[in-house]
Structure 1
């Protein structure tokens, strides 16, 4: 797809906001979103600003981690409904793993916030086309972008690397970041570009991107084509997953864990055996499931498990 000029910022962005009961691929209506002059604010600046009605970050049950733990399991997932509080997450959802191209969300958000017209257009093309060359250039201009986002949005598992693809994050961090944008900055340029990507690049959508009612999405693949990351959001939820297997596996995992449909993943054979695992006590992850009705009498159930890892030494190339 050819590059677009800065003037195309005001083009119509096809979105599935109006189709809450349909898959995004079956939605034919659109709205126009002008992402040219959006000025984003930090969470501190938004402290006294009214949030999106009906949404809340309580489902994340955020508590600052005492220390960072590297994730050695081949999968990770996080789903949070900001309206009902429903939270589905793997026990290792807050452990750090190689971020690959999903950090383009962080670099892009910084560029939309701090950059000029040139950087904003570059960020848009970077996100739409997974452009490594543009990512290299933007990261050289904004080397503190990942750290800035991690600090501003309290992303405890996220750390920057001199090479952006070797930075680390977690499914929880990416979901928490997008959740804060939905809750506090629903007009964020990043969200608009993710909507545009979802509508323009359906062939790139897998994992979270194929869930019903997804409005915006972003995917990432490692150079080795063995690691896959996907992030998506709807009008009131976020869903993020990562696997070290295949696109199909990532899609199967998100469908099974979020919708309860399709092929189970991870299965018992994918989970580490007791003899292979060591306890990661610093990240006792909580998998919380709340009733979807969101009524005053809703009962909540929390299952707390201790996350496990298959090794104690971090890979040298990470």
Structure 2
């Protein structure tokens, strides 16, 4: 029985088969090429994003920053002298270099706590200055981590900045002398100065507080600093007409020898001139 539909000739059938086979072969090729193209575009997108991110996270250089003038130096000696009566200053070429503040940073912590802490914390800060108590310093700094930087800004101490812990802060002999000079100008009996005048002969950790600038004539009060391994020592002292500070990489005796050699004549002259004015 013949089909109702018209039968296609063999040549037409063969042609259709060829077209069908070619079409089937082309589908995976198109699919593969399409996937490859999408992957390339996606990869380009990732690279562009990474480049944009890199550019966007690059911070511009700080322009005009006071801190950019710092020179880190924990090895050189520093000496600073200030005469109160005429405002004259002298010091080593290194006196403005930022170096480990050691326990001198407790002066800055105490100043902030006295202005912003509780009455109880204020008494703790005063005791910390006299005995150089590390435990109290740690507690107060944990409560007021902004203390050192805030005082540095308030008193324009350009070489002074905080560390993650108070023991990792930095300052300079120039800064600590400037700080005490401003305290004395505001109030010669400031609690910090009184605490320095009443410093204990032995610190809370058992270390003697009798070296460095404290040996100079006419000294009324002092604050000392030393590293745990005793390789760094520093001190600051004041009298009626002078403020002095010094720091060394070396022993307490090394600091004392440096101070006696560098500052004795200037301190004696300041004492004489102060007596003439009184």
Normalised TM-score (structure 2) = 0.68
> How far 1:96 sits from its partner (Å)?
0.4
Contact 2:74/2:249, CA 8 A, preserved across alignment: no
Decide whether aligned partners of structure 1 residues 161 and 65 sit closer, same or farther in structure 2, where only a CA change above 3 A counts.
Answer: closer
1:211 has 2:216 as partner: yes
1:171 has 2:159 as partner: no
1:253 has 2:258 as partner: yes
Aligned equivalent of 2:119: 117
Partner-residue secondary structure (3-state), 2:104:
helix
2: CA distance between counterparts of 1:73 and 1:136? 25
Quick check: which one's helix share is greater?
2
Contact 1:112/1:190, CA 8 A, preserved across alignment: no
Aligned equivalent of 1:148: 150
Unaligned 5+ residue runs, structure 1? 1-63, 262-288, 295-318
> How far 1:81 sits from its partner (Å)?
0.6
Partner-residue secondary structure (3-state), 1:239:
strand
Partner-residue secondary structure (3-state), 2:198:
helix
1: CA distance between counterparts of 2:245 and 2:233? 11
Aligned equivalent of 1:201: 201
| Deviations, residues 230-267 of structure 1 (Å, cap 9, x unaligned) | 01111121000000101111111111111149xxxxxx
Normalised TM-score (structure 1) = 0.59
- Structure number with higher relative contact order (C-alpha < 8 Å, ≥ 6 residues apart): 1
2: CA distance between counterparts of 1:175 and 1:220? 14
**Farther off after superposition, 106-115 or 88-97:** 106-115
The counterpart of 1:239, out of the listed 235, 244, 249, is 244
> How far 1:195 sits from its partner (Å)?
0.9
Partner-residue secondary structure (3-state), 2:158:
coil
Unaligned 5+ residue runs, structure 2? 1-65, 203-207
> How far 1:125 sits from its partner (Å)?
2.1
> How far 1:132 sits from its partner (Å)?
1.1
Partner-residue secondary structure (3-state), 1:157:
coil
Contact 2:77/2:246, CA 8 A, preserved across alignment: yes
Decide whether aligned partners of structure 1 residues 65 and 236 sit closer, same or farther in structure 2, where only a CA change above 3 A counts.
Answer: farther
CA RMSD of aligned residues (A): 2.2
2: CA distance between counterparts of 1:249 and 1:141? 35
How many residue pairs get matched? 201
2: CA distance between counterparts of 1:85 and 1:162? 35
1:45-124 matched pairs, under 5 angstroms: 67-124=69-126
2: CA distance between counterparts of 1:116 and 1:175? 27
2: CA distance between counterparts of 1:257 and 1:194? 22
The counterpart of 1:159, out of the listed 141, 158, 161, is 161
1:132 has 2:137 as partner: no
> How far 1:187 sits from its partner (Å)?
2.8
Aligned equivalent of 1:280: none
